[in-house]
């Protein structure tokens, strides 16, 4: 019921328990049809009061329910003029943002952009990015944000695969975008506070009108895959997550600092505040960290959504400067494990309650999240309410017990990959999606992540989860961070190799760390090789790329 009543509330209506259908209908056709699909018992209770043909009314409601879209909910929440976004030291009202939306819609119409078309964006976080998204949705199109750090060659390959109607980039990327000019797609530039210039769209590979955004993800495995997320995928994901994690979301101000080419940044930090009608504090880049600290204070952010790597920098800066955010209430972390030591530093230095979540791009992106009331230690919280799950062995057969590879099904789970039938067939089976994560799930649906299947190390027939080794290494007072991988060897199958970053100003040898592990781990889990490093390879959100470490180790002779 929650999403339905959010829509009713946004329209400034109230629904009496006895059910006044005049008021009910006045709240908007989409709200009624959404109720028909997801709340049939309540819906039929109302519909029977006003017509005998309730079954026919119900049938029509189900068929139209899919038409509820993000832009409808956003427009309803922001119908009154108020502050929508803080950006570069000033507040933007909803009216100002919607003015940009209207200007963009006119440009898209004139360009020949239509239903099922896509806009590839290479833009930092800004009010104009959000306005462009809403304009594309109004035209029944979608957006595909790309990571500009990927380089011209990789970007060119993604653009050719996605076949958009236009590429929209930031002016700062003009030099970077030179390598894209040979593509048969118009390239235009958009100021952070402006609207689209004139252009002529080209025919694109059509996607469904229900598609909201396509996000390219390679996870930590390699080849990028386009994930089309529908409006209903995102609406149901956000609604379930907020109900489970943040029942007081309406009182918050969100920090939007994560890159928008990732679902955690775009959907959770960017779209969620629009969806629930709360202000957001927009930063185009996390660095310099001092700028983010100022934005948190000046914009009055109470809810931070970020990743462990950025939290490490933020806590480090807070410890050095004595900075204490005035209003932060919650710190939501995703994208990678939140180790206990960092969790403690968040509570101590930032003052907010740490909340860990788990998800994948294919799940819009949230699968599980810790409730504010607490979750079992070591878990990322329970699966969202409408998520069905199965635990399977690596070969796909049903797992015995409460551990296995997690397969999921639900309204927030994508139906496949864009323009990639073979990969879709491998990962999606009869509505079930293979997350590729080894997990344990308890009787209350709390998820305990063991490891990515591809990261599992097998030593002499025994399973070794990298997380087990890393937890022991990270507990050493001289260690800042570590990563463990498996290296193939002809005799043992694999051995464990660890990469360790020491804390600033301390000294420690590999042999000391090996001894530390021997005292705390079974012999087959003890790293045969420990390499001291100053950095680890990461993806755009700071998650360690064990794949890169495995490749380096296989080509090395020092193991």
What is the β-pairing status of strands 403-409 and 432-441? antiparallel
Among the listed residues 365, 233, 276, the one whose alpha carbon sits nearest the alpha carbon of residue 6: 276
Specify whether 195 is located in the same domain as 181.
Answer: yes
The H-assigned helical ranges of 254-326 are 263, 272-276, 289-299, 308-321
Can you tell me the distance from the alpha carbon of 162 to that of 495, in angstroms, rounded to the nearest whole number? Answer: 40
Burial of 205 (0-12, 13-18, 19+ CB in 10 A): middle
Does any domain span residue 220? no
Specify whether 19 is located in the same domain as 101.
Answer: no
Q: What is the pLDDT of residue 341?
A: 87
Range of the domain at 461: 456-554
pLDDT in 10s for each residue of the chain, 559 residues: 445 545 544 544 333 233 332 233 334 444 444 444 444 433 443 444 444 444 444 444 444 455 689 999 999 999 888 999 999 999 999 999 999 999 999 999 999 999 999 999 999 999 999 999 999 999 999 999 998 887 788 889 899 999 999 999 999 988 877 778 788 999 999 999 999 999 999 998 888 899 999 999 865 455 789 999 999 999 999 999 999 999 899 999 999 999 999 999 999 999 999 999 999 999 999 999 999 999 999 999 999 999 988 999 999 999 999 999 989 999 999 988 888 889 999 999 999 999 999 999 999 999 999 987 778 988 999 999 999 999 999 888 999 888 999 999 999 999 999 999 999 999 999 999 999 898 999 999 999 998 777 788 888 767 788 988 999 999 999 999 999 999 987 555 789 999 999 999 999 999 999 999 999 998 889 999 999 999 999 887 788 888 899 888 877 655 5
Hey, what are 429's tokens? 């089976």
Can you tell me the distance from the alpha carbon of 166 to that of 203, in angstroms, rounded to the nearest whole number? Answer: 9
Which residue, of 209, 240, 267, is where some domain finishes? 209
Query: CATH number of the domain that 464 lies in?
Result: 3.30.300.30
Specify whether 468 is located in the same domain as 537.
Answer: yes
Per this entry, what is the length of the chain? Answer: 559
Can you tell me the distance from the alpha carbon of 490 to that of 466, in angstroms, rounded to the nearest whole number? Answer: 20
3-state secondary structure 9-65: HHCCCCCCCCCCHHHHHHCCHHHHHHHHHHCHHHHHHHHCCCCCCHHHHHHHHHHHH
Hey, what are 428's tokens? 């999606």
> Other C-beta atoms within 10 Å of 192: how many?
18
The H-assigned helical ranges of 66-151 are 70-77, 94-111, 127-138
Does any domain span residue 505? yes
What is the β-pairing status of strands 447-452 and 457-459? unpaired
Give just the sign of the alpha carbon dihedral 539, 367, 10, 68: positive
Does any domain span residue 393? yes
Query: CATH number of the domain that 259 lies in?
Result: 3.40.50.12780
Counting the structural domains of the chain, the total is 4
Which residue, of 52, 67, 82, is where some domain finishes? 67
Specify whether 41 is located in the same domain as 79.
Answer: no
Which residue, of 51, 67, 83, is where some domain finishes? 67
Cα–Cα distances in angstroms (integers) from residue 99 to residues 83, 90, 127, 249, in the given order: 14, 17, 11, 26
Specify whether 375 is located in the same domain as 270.
Answer: yes
Q: What is the pLDDT of residue 81?
A: 86
Specify whether 96 is located in the same domain as 54.
Answer: no
Can you tell me the distance from the alpha carbon of 305 to that of 326, in angstroms, rounded to the nearest whole number? Answer: 17
Does any domain span residue 194? yes
Q: Which residues pair with 493 in a beta bridge?
A: 489
Can you tell me the distance from the alpha carbon of 481 to that of 478, in angstroms, rounded to the nearest whole number? Answer: 9
Does any domain span residue 21? yes
Specify whether 378 is located in the same domain as 281.
Answer: yes
181 three-class SS: coil
Burial of 453 (0-12, 13-18, 19+ CB in 10 A): middle
* Cα angle value 462/464/465 (rounded, 5°): 150
Among the listed residues 357, 335, 334, 338, the one whose alpha carbon sits nearest the alpha carbon of residue 346: 338
Specify whether 241 is located in the same domain as 362.
Answer: yes
Query: CATH number of the domain that 110 lies in?
Result: 3.40.50.980
Specify whether 504 is located in the same domain as 363.
Answer: no
Hey, what are 109's tokens? 């119409």
Does any domain span residue 140? yes
Is-contact 121 143, C-beta < 8 A? yes
> Other C-beta atoms within 10 Å of 235: how many?
25
Among the listed residues 8, 10, 30, 7, the one whose alpha carbon sits nearest the alpha carbon of residue 19: 8
Q: What is the pLDDT of residue 219?
A: 54
Among the listed residues 385, 418, 387, 54, the one whose alpha carbon sits nearest the alpha carbon of residue 227: 418
Q: Which residues pair with 85 in a beta bridge?
A: 92, 280
List Cβ neighbours of 271 (8 Å cut-off, separation of 6 or more): 70, 133, 234, 238
519 membership: H or E segment, kind and range: none
Got the DSSP string for 367-432?
A: EEE--TT---TT---BBPTT-EEEEE-TTSSBPSSSEEEEEEESTTS----TT-HHHHHHHEETTE
Does any domain span residue 6? yes
Specify whether 354 is located in the same domain as 393.
Answer: yes
278 three-class SS: coil
Give just the sign of the alpha carbon dihedral 180, 181, 186, 190: positive
Is-contact 42 21, C-beta < 8 A? no
Does any domain span residue 214? no
Can you tell me the distance from the alpha carbon of 219 to that of 263, in angstroms, rounded to the nearest whole number? Answer: 12
Does this model's pTM top 0.75? My answer is: yes
List Cβ neighbours of 289 (8 Å cut-off, separation of 6 or more): 313, 314, 317
Can you tell me the distance from the alpha carbon of 228 to that of 213, in angstroms, rounded to the nearest whole number? Answer: 6
Specify whether 400 is located in the same domain as 431.
Answer: yes
Specify whether 462 is located in the same domain as 435.
Answer: no
- Report residue 486: phi and psi, to 5°: -100, 135
Can you tell me the distance from the alpha carbon of 349 to that of 104, in angstroms, rounded to the nearest whole number? Answer: 42
Q: What is the pLDDT of residue 220?
A: 46
Among the listed residues 254, 168, 259, 172, the one whose alpha carbon sits nearest the alpha carbon of residue 216: 259
């Amino acid at each position: 019921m929650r999403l339905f009543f959010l829509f009713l509330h946004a329209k400034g209506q109230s629904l009496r328990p006895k059910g006044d259908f005049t008021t009910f209908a006045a709240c908007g056709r989409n709200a009624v049809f959404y109720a028909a699909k997801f709340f049939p018992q309540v819906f039929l209770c109302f519909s029977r009061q006003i017509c005998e043909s309730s079954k026919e009314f119900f049938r029509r409601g189900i068929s139209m329910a899919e038409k509820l879209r993000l832009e409808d909910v956003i427009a309803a929440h922001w119908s009154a003029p108020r502050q929508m976004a803080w950006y570069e030291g000033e507040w933007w009202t909803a009216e100002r943002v919607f003015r940009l939306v209207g200007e963009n819609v006119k440009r898209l119409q004139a360009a020949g952009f239509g239903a099922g078309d896509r806009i590839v964006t290479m833009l930092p976080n800004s009010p104009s990015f959000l306005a462009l998204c809403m304009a594309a949705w109004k035209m029944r199109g979608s957006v595909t944000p790309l990571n500009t750090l990927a380089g011209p060659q990789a970007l060119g390959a993604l653009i050719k695969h996605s076949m958009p109607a236009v590429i929209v980039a930031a002016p700062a990327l003009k030099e970077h975008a030179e390598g894209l000019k040979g593509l048969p797609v118009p390239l235009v530039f958009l100021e952070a506070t402006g609207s689209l210039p004139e252009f002529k769209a080209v025919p694109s590979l059509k996607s469904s009108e229900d598609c909201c955004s396509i996000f390219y993800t390679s996870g930590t495995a390699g080849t990028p895959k386009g994930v089309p997320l529908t409006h209903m995928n995102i609406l149901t994901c956000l609604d379930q997550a907020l109900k489970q994690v943040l029942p007081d979301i309406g009182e918050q101000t969100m920090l939007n600092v994560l890159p928008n080419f990732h679902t955690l940044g775009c959907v959770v930090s960017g779209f969620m505040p629009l969806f629930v009608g709360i202000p957001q504090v927009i930063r185009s880049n996390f660095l310099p960290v001092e700028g983010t600290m100022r934005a948190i204070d000046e914009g009055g952010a109470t809810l931070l959504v970020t990743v462990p790597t950025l939290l490490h920098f933020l806590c480090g800066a807070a410890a050095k400067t004595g900075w204490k955010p005035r209003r932060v209430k919650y710190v939501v972390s995703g994208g990678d494990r939140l180790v206990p030591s960092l969790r403690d530093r968040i509570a101590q230095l930032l003052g907010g309650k740490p909340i860990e979540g788990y998800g994948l791009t294919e799940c819009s992106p949230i699968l599980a999240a810790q409730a504010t009331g607490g979750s079992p230690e070591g878990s990322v919280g329970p699966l969202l309410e409408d998520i069905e799950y199965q635990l399977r062995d690596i070969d796909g057969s049903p797992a015995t017990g409460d551990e296995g590879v997690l397969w999921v099904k639900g309204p927030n789970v994508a139906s496949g990959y864009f323009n990639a039938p073979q990969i879709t067939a491998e990962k999606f089976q009869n509505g079930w999606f293979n997350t590729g994560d080894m997990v344990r799930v308890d009787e209350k649906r709390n998820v305990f992540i063991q490891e990515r299947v591809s990261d599992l190390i097998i030593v002499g027939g025994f399973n070794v989860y990298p997380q087990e080794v890393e937890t022991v290494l990270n507990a050493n007072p001289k260690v800042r961070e570590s990563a463990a991988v498996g290296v193939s060897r002809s005799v043992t199958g694999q051995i464990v190799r660890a990469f360790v970053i020491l804390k600033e100003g301390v000294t420690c040898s590999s042999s000391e760390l090996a001894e530390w592990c021997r005292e705390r781990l079974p012999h087959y889990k003890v790293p045969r090789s420990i390499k001291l490093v100053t950095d680890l390879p990461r993806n755009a959100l700071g998650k360690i790329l064990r794949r890169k470490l495995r490749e380096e180790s296989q080509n090395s002779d020092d193991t």
